[in-house]
Amino acid sequence: MKSPSQRVDLGDGLWVSVVIATYNRQDLLRRLLQDLDAQSLDPSRFEAIAVDDGSSEDTCARLADLTTRYTHRIERQENTGAAAARQRGVDLARGKVVVFLDDDMQVKPDFLEKHLEKHLEYGDGTNTVVLGRLRPDAKLADMPLFERYYARVMASQGDELASGERPVRGHNIYTGNVSMARELFVRAGGFDPAFRALEDEELGVRLEKAGARFAFANEASSIHGSDWTSMKKWMERAYRDGVYQAKLSKKHPDMPESSPWRFLPVANPLKRPFMTLGLAAPAAASVVAGAAIRTASAFDKVGLEPVALAGMTFVYGIQYYRGVRKEVGGYDAVRREFREFERGVSLLQRGERGDSSAFRAFREAVREDHRILRYYGEKYDDRVESSGGVESFDAPGTAALASDAVKKIGFQLMIAYRVMRFFRAAGLELGAQFASRTIRHAFASDVHWDADLEPGIMVVHGFGLAISYAARARHGCILFQNVTLGYGPDPLTKQAGAPLLEKSVHVGIGATLYGPIVVGEGTKIMASCVLSQSVPPRSIVEASVPHVSARAPVRARS
């Protein structure tokens, strides 16, 4: 049996650089650096770099007496934020893999090895991001209410990721416990110093766009033992999260998973009006949040922690949307967007009478989508005799279209998409964006208003789609549920883009296609496949080949 130090091997040189941003936490940083000194990994294979982001006391001087078996260094900079501190740490790093940790974490002796083992599960790990588990300190009961709330949220997310209930995505990334190849970090562009909050999520979004693979390492856990004690600072942090979530959404409009609006439709109906109050009347909402935090604290003092934690969710939501309101430019900006949406609806109604070119294109596209829906319904239902080829299949009548618009969820989504494209063609981009969010809330699908789906597309079930602004699909294509047509780089050329589906491509349940690839006419993409290279016409990409690359050829039909 291999010894702990033999379980991983990344070749010659330094394997790991641990990067830590720190601010006024000299004692906690000392504890973490001592934890790293107990690692089972050969100390000659890793280093630690802590960057002091302008602490009031010189951290380097305070920790001058600390000696470790591995190489560690402490650098100091003017206070410019955690993103800049971590970026400087990576700039100084010499390891092949960078592990980010927060200064208030604790780690077990096998922590670094568990990260490296997960990287090596995916070949050489150079294109993999490994997210480790955050676990609460054993003294959780003694922590302030807001820290217990945060611990519960992170524990719930960790359970979902560990069970596979949901996959790791770029917007899940946190710097409290994450690792990636230094080469991948540099390729994605590193941290954006303009982000003084959510800099980790913003990096994660760009890593996803760069084609990174994400993995969750339940065993590579870190223990979060924060020293936060100020409820006021926690509320300011919630407000700041809202501000920077809106900034992130502006920077990456093609990644709606990071939109601040995504939380509203899933919020408790009783809390939702107060969250929207943060948008409509932030001053009044601030008063409500203050009263709610006092009430939650009172419940906590008498032992009603579940009620108190529910109150913290309520307060966080109010503060978060107050921050969103600050960044989006106030209620007037939201109102302008909705008014443009209403204008688009009015244009649709007038189009029925005036038959404008935009309305005519909308109407013909909906009819062709319905014709293809009926054609495939007869083709694949062995109880119905086929009426012939797709080109000769007659268009169903208005009554059938109306019936299917009520019964078929996928067809409803396509109608909503055509409405969104009508707004875009009419020059109402704000209305198109509003329609995009409506699709997201109604169908749990993120379809960009610039995505180009030709008339004659069939969507099955109509939920879980993620379609990039640069994606294109030709006539006759079928998209099942949970399909992604994502933006990313070509693994070989590094050129970025999104898939083009030629005619009659069928994309199975849960398949992910990304990058500037072309999927040839008549190709079948089986369920759960991940495709990042072009394939010729009439190919079959099988579920047994979950990731297609230059080393894994696609089987083509004759």
Sign of CA pseudo-dihedral 344, 345, 351, 354: negative
Contact at 8 Å (CB) between 275 and 318? yes
Strand 446-447 relative to strand 524-525, pairing:
unpaired
User: Which residues make Cβ contacts (< 8 Å) with residue 402, sequence separation at least 6?
Assistant: none
Amino acid (1-letter code) at residue 139: K
Cα–Cα distance between 373 and 375 in angstroms, integer? 6
Q: pLDDT band for position 517 (50/70/90)?
A: very high
What mean pLDDT do residues 199-212 have?
92
Q: Check pLDDT > 70 for residue 395.
A: no
Contact at 8 Å (CB) between 451 and 468? yes
> What confidence score (pLDDT) does residue 388 get?
45
Helix (H) or strand (E) holding 221: strand 213-224
Closest CA to 517 of 536, 533, 503, 505: 533
- Two tokens, residue 255: 């990644």
DSSP type of residue 105: E
pLDDT: is 103 or 543 the higher one? 103
Q: What is the CA angle 273-274-278, rounded to 5?
A: 115
Collapsed DSSP state (helix, strand, coil) of residue 342: helix
Cα–Cα distance between 229 and 209 in angstroms, integer? 37
Cβ neighbours, 10 Å, residue 529: 23
Amino acid (1-letter code) at residue 545: V
Cα–Cα distance between 353 and 520 in angstroms, integer? 40
For the segment 116-135, what is each residue's pLDDT rounded down to a tens digit? 999 988 877 688 999 999 88
- Strand order, beta sheet including 539-541: 458-459, 478-479, 506-507, 524-525, 539-541, 555-556
> What confidence score (pLDDT) does residue 338 get?
56
Q: Check pLDDT > 60 for residue 447.
A: yes
Q: pLDDT band for position 333 (50/70/90)?
A: low
Q: Check pLDDT > 60 for residue 546.
A: no
For the segment 140-190, what is each residue's pLDDT rounded down to a tens digit? 666 778 778 877 888 888 888 888 878 899 989 999 999 999 999 999 999
What mean pLDDT do residues 483-502 have?
86
Among 45-54, 98-107, 246-255, 423-432, which stretch is predicted with the lowest mean pLDDT?
A: 423-432
> What confidence score (pLDDT) does residue 428 get?
78
> How many Å is the maximal CA-CA distance in the chain?
84
For the segment 68-106, what is each residue's pLDDT rounded down to a tens digit? 999 999 999 999 999 999 999 999 999 999 999 999 999
Among 198-212, 258-272, 306-320, which stretch is predicted with the lowest mean pLDDT?
A: 258-272
What mean pLDDT do residues 422-436 have?
80
Burial of 382 (0-12, 13-18, 19+ CB in 10 A): exposed
Let me know how many helices (H) and strands (E) the chain has, helices first.
16, 26
Amino acid (1-letter code) at residue 184: L
For the segment 339-387, what is each residue's pLDDT rounded down to a tens digit? 665 666 666 666 544 456 778 888 899 999 999 999 998 887 644 444 4
Contact at 8 Å (CB) between 278 and 239? no
Cα–Cα distance between 209 and 171 in angstroms, integer? 11
Collapsed DSSP state (helix, strand, coil) of residue 329: coil
DSSP-assigned beta bridge partners for residue 555: 540
Q: Check pLDDT > 70 for residue 219.
A: yes
Contact at 8 Å (CB) between 424 and 348? no
Cα–Cα distance between 102 and 450 in angstroms, integer? 39
Mean pLDDT of the residues in the chain: 84
pTM of the model: 0.62
- Two tokens, residue 69: 């078996």
* Separation of CA 341 from chain center: 27
- Return phi, psi of residue 178, to 5°: -155, 150
Collapsed DSSP state (helix, strand, coil) of residue 521: coil
Closest CA to 241 of 171, 156, 179: 171
Cα–Cα distance between 39 and 16 in angstroms, integer? 12
Contact at 8 Å (CB) between 524 and 536? no
* Separation of CA 297 from chain center: 32
What mean pLDDT do residues 6-15 have?
76
Cβ neighbours, 10 Å, residue 407: 9
DSSP type of residue 182: H
Cα–Cα distance between 129 and 163 in angstroms, integer? 18
For the segment 23-68, what is each residue's pLDDT rounded down to a tens digit? 999 999 999 999 999 999 999 999 999 999 999 989 999 999 999 9
Amino acid (1-letter code) at residue 367: R
End-to-end CA distance of the chain: 48
User: Which residues make Cβ contacts (< 8 Å) with residue 389, sequence separation at least 6?
Assistant: none
Q: Check pLDDT > 80 for residue 480.
A: yes
Axis crossing angle, helix 409-425 with helix 429-443, rounded to the nearest 10? 170
Q: Check pLDDT > 70 for residue 472.
A: yes
Among 119-123, 214-218, 270-274, 406-410, which stretch is predicted with the lowest mean pLDDT?
A: 270-274
Collapsed DSSP state (helix, strand, coil) of residue 541: strand
Q: What is the CA angle 183-186-189, rounded to 5?
A: 150
Cα–Cα distance between 186 and 341 in angstroms, integer? 40
Strand 105-107 relative to strand 213-224, pairing:
antiparallel
Contact at 8 Å (CB) between 256 and 436? yes
- Two tokens, residue 110: 């096998």
Closest CA to 499 of 512, 489, 510, 513: 513
Cα–Cα distance between 521 and 518 in angstroms, integer? 9
Amino acid (1-letter code) at residue 62: R
Q: What percent of the chain has pLDDT over 70?
A: 84
